[in-house]
Structure 1
C-alpha cells in the first residue's frame, strides 16, 4: 500500500493504462490468426476490460481512502472537533493536499485553544469583579449575570432566565427609583452606619441584530468617603489659610489701635480702623462665596431673549460683542445663575487682559445648544493649570478663592451643559459655556 502512496497517482494510472494497451494489442494480434481484424480487436478489448477496471480500482484505492478521511475530518471541524490529523506517505498533489489540511487543523486547534483561554480569562474577570453586571435581553429576561449581580439581586442564586422586572420588585426602593429615572446616576441605600452609595450605569447595544441592555452597578461608598475626606481637608486648609491671613492683621491692628488710643495719637486711628474694616469685609465676602457655592439652588429655566440678557450683563461689566445677536433669538436657562457664571468669567478675563476692549463674548447657535465664548488676550494658562482650573478651591491668584470657575462649572452642569477652557493661538484664553436649548 505504501509504495502506491509514494508514487504519484498520474504515474500509476499511466502505467496501468499502458500495460493494458500493450496487453490488448498482443491479444488482438494473436486472435487475428483465427478471427477477422475487427472481431479480434473487439474480443481483445472485452478480455482486457475487467483487468483494467480492477487495476484502476486497485491504483486509486489509497486516494479514495484519503478522500473519505478528508470528508470525516472536515465534518469534525464543522462540529468543533479539531483533534484529527491525516497520515500520508506519498508526494505530489495529494501529499501537498494532506500537508495543507494538517496545517489547517493545527491552526484551528491553536485558535480554538487561544479562544478558550481568552473566554476563560474574560469569564474569570467578569465573575470576580466587584461591579454587578447584568445583560438584559430584548424580552426583559436576564441573559447573563456575574457573581456580584447574583449577590445583589438574587441572594446568590442564578439569575439567567428570570425577568428583570421581577428581580427589581425585590430590590431596595432607592435602586428602583434610580432605574425609573433612567440613565446613569448615584443613589444611596440604607441609613446611618449602614448607608451605602452606588453608581448605576446603563448601556444599550445590538447583539445578533437584537437590542440588549447592559447594567453595571458599582459600590462607591469607600471611594466617595475617601474623596470626601480629602475634599474636607482641602477646604479646611483653604479656610484656615484665609482666616489666618485676615484675622492676624485684624488682631495686630486692633492692638495697635488700642495703643494709639492709650497714647492719645488719634490722628492715626482712622487708618487702622479702615484697614480692619477692609480685612473684615474681605473675610465676609470670602465666607459668603463659599456659602453661595455650597447652597446653589436648582436652576429655574425660562425663555430669555439673548439680546436683552447681554445688554443687562454689559451694565455690570464691559465687554465687546464678537458676533451680533438677533433680538428674536432666545435661550432656555436661569438668567440669574447664568449671569453670575458669566460675571465670574468676565472678571477673570478683565484681570487677565487688563484692557476692557480685549474682552469679548461670542454667542453661537449649535444644533441643539448655545455656545457662549468668553475670550481675552491675556497670557493664557499652562497645561497644569488647565487641568485643575475647574476644580473647587484651586487658584493661582494670591488672594483667589478658587470658586469662580468652579461655580461657573457647577451652574453649567446644573443646566445640563458643560464648560471648557482652551488657549487661543494668538495668545489669551477662550472659556466656552455650552447650554442646551
Structure 2
C-alpha cells in the first residue's frame, strides 16, 4: 500500500462524511421548504445568504471532525507501511505502536508478532549459516563452488591453501586458478569423470599423495552451480593397508606360537630324558633347536608388537629430559634451541620412534658427528600448529624406489632386518595425528621429519 493510497483513503473518508452531511442537510432543508408555508419560503429566500453560510460552516465542522476522527487510522496505516517497507528490506527489527480501536490494535499486535517470528527465524538461519560456514572452512577437504561460467563463487580455507597459498580466490575463473597448479591436478579437474589421482607432496616426486575428486551440480535461482570436492585419501589408504598387515601378522603370530611353544616344551623334555646319556651330538641338536625357537619367538614378538600397538597415553613432555635420555643410547648433535612450550604425547612410544630413527642414522654409514636432531615449533596460522622433529645424517641416503617402499611393513634393505622399524614409527606418529616423511638431503644423507600437532 503506497503513501498516495493511504492519503487517498483518508480523503475519501472525509469527503464521504462531508457529502453525507451535505446531502442530509439539503434533504432536511428541502423537506422543510416543501412542507412549509409561503411566508416561510419567502423568509428563507430573503435570508438565503445566512442559511448558505450556516451550511458551509456545518460542512467545515463535519470535515474537521472527520479529519480528527481519522487521524489515528492514518497514523496506524503509516506505521504499518513503514514496517512493511522494512520487511521488504529484510529488516525485521521494527515494531509498531498498539493504539486505536480494537481492530487497529489487533492489526498492530499481529504485525508485531509476525516481526518477532521473522526475527527469530532469521537469527536461527543466521546461526545455522555461521555453523555451516565454520564446518566447511574447518574441513580438510577442498571445496569449490563454481557458477555456470566456471567462475569461483565460494571456496573454503583448504581450497585457498591448495591453489593460492591461502589467499582469496573467489571471483577467479577456474582456468586462471589452474595456471600455477600441478599438472596432475589440472588433468584431474579438466577430466569430466570423478576418480583418484596422485599429487607429489611438497614438490617431492618420491612422496605421492592420493586424492579423490568428485563433482556435483544443482540449480539455484535459475542458474546451474557446480560443486567440486577434493579429498586426500593418503592417510585413510595407509590405515587400511596397515590394518590388513596387522591382521595378517596376528594370524601368522598365532599359528607360529602354537608351533613354537610345543617345540620348546619338547626340547626341555628331551634334555631331561637324555641327560644321563651325555651325548655331545644330542646336546648340539637340542642347543640348536632351542636357539632357533628362541630366535623365532623373538621374531614373532617383534611383529606382534607392531600388530598390537596400544593407543598413546599422552602426557606433558620435558624436551631436555627427552634429549638427555636419547643421548644415553646414540650420539647426535642437537641443532637450535629446544621449544619453550611443552607438548603432550606418549613419551615411551615417541622415544621408541626417535631411537629407531637415530639407530638408522648410525647404520647409514654417516660420520657420527654429522648426525643431528632438531626440535622446532611450527608457526602456522591455523590450529594445526605444533612441533617438527628432524633427524638428519650424511650417509648414503635412499634411492627413489626405497623411499617409496620404506614405510611399508616387511620392506627392508638390511639382510637381517624385519622391515618393521619405519612402519612402526609411522604407526606411532599417525596415532598422535602427526605425519612422517623421508627425503634425501641436497648433498648427501637422509632427513626424516616428524610433524606433530599441538593438542
TM-score, normalised on structure 1? 0.47
TM-score, normalised on structure 2? 0.45
